[in-house]
Amino acid sequence: MSVQSVEATERALAAAIIQVRGREAEHDPGVALAARDAAELAHANGAGLVAVVTHPDADPAILVGMVVTADVPLGPDAAAELRHYLSDGGGPDIREVTESRTERGYPVVIAERILVEGPSRDAPSAGCQLQAVVIDPLGRRMAVFTLHSTTGRGWLELAGVLGQLVSSVDFEVAAPDPRMRVSTTT
């Protein structure tokens, strides 16, 4: 996707979603809203990756990825600290927070959110969001991926696609953009 401007990113995301879902999706206000929200998030945070994730058994989802750098080295307890922080203070929309490791041994913290339309946790769903943070415990970098589905249809399949991307993170591989050090080959 284009990350030249918020508007260009928004247009590209909306067009990609409509292409996957079909022309009738042009009339779904959720498509434009999701595209705008993702474009604003991507540009506000200097994202190096903006994409539409598809799976044959799912509605398309929007993926935003970036590498952030901490002011101090993260240390070996960074993942546990992040997991506790999200579990305790992440808000009522967080349903589950887990901690794991990638195939390369990097700690990863995963937070699943079910976004609701109203103030009640029992209100209708406004979609699903999965955030995965891969931590370089010997450095200062974290690769942050946010996957958002407005419908939640095929959520497990989409999460599997994100899992493949997360497992490919390698902080030792150089990339053209120094902010993003993610190898997308599997």
What is the total count of domains within the chain? 1
Q: What's residue 165's pLDDT?
A: 92
Asked, for residue 161, whether it belongs to a domain, the answer is yes
User: Is 64 contained in some domain?
Assistant: yes
Residue 133 Cα to chain centre, angstroms: 9
Q: Is residue 55 part of a domain?
A: yes
Digit-coded pLDDT (tens) for 57-86: 998 889 999 998 888 888 889 999 988 888
Q: Which pLDDT does position 174 carry in this prediction?
A: 56
Taken in order 16, 21, 27, 32, the sign of the CA dihedral is negative
Task: Look up the domain containing 161 and give its range.
Answer: 49-167
Residues in the chain, pLDDT under 50: 123-124, 175-186
For residues 62 and 31, give the distance between their C-alpha atoms in angstroms, rounded to a whole number. 10
**Would you state the pLDDT for residue 122?**
55
The CATH number assigned to the domain holding 65 equals: 3.40.1000.10
pLDDT at residue 183, as a whole number:
34
pLDDT reported for residue 126:
61
d(CA 102, CA 166): 7
Q: Is residue 185 part of a domain?
A: no
Amino acid (1-letter code) at residue 23: R
Q: How far apart are the first and last CA of the chain?
A: 21
Predicted TM-score (pTM) of the model is 0.77
Looking at the domain assignment, is residue 69 inside a domain? yes
- Taking only the tens place, the pLDDT of each residue in 153-177 is 898 999 999 999 999 999 887 544 4
With respect to residue 145, please indicate whether it lies within any of the assigned structural domains: yes
Q: Is residue 122 in some structural domain?
A: yes
Answer whether residue 182 is part of any domain: no
Q: Give residue 176's pLDDT.
A: 44
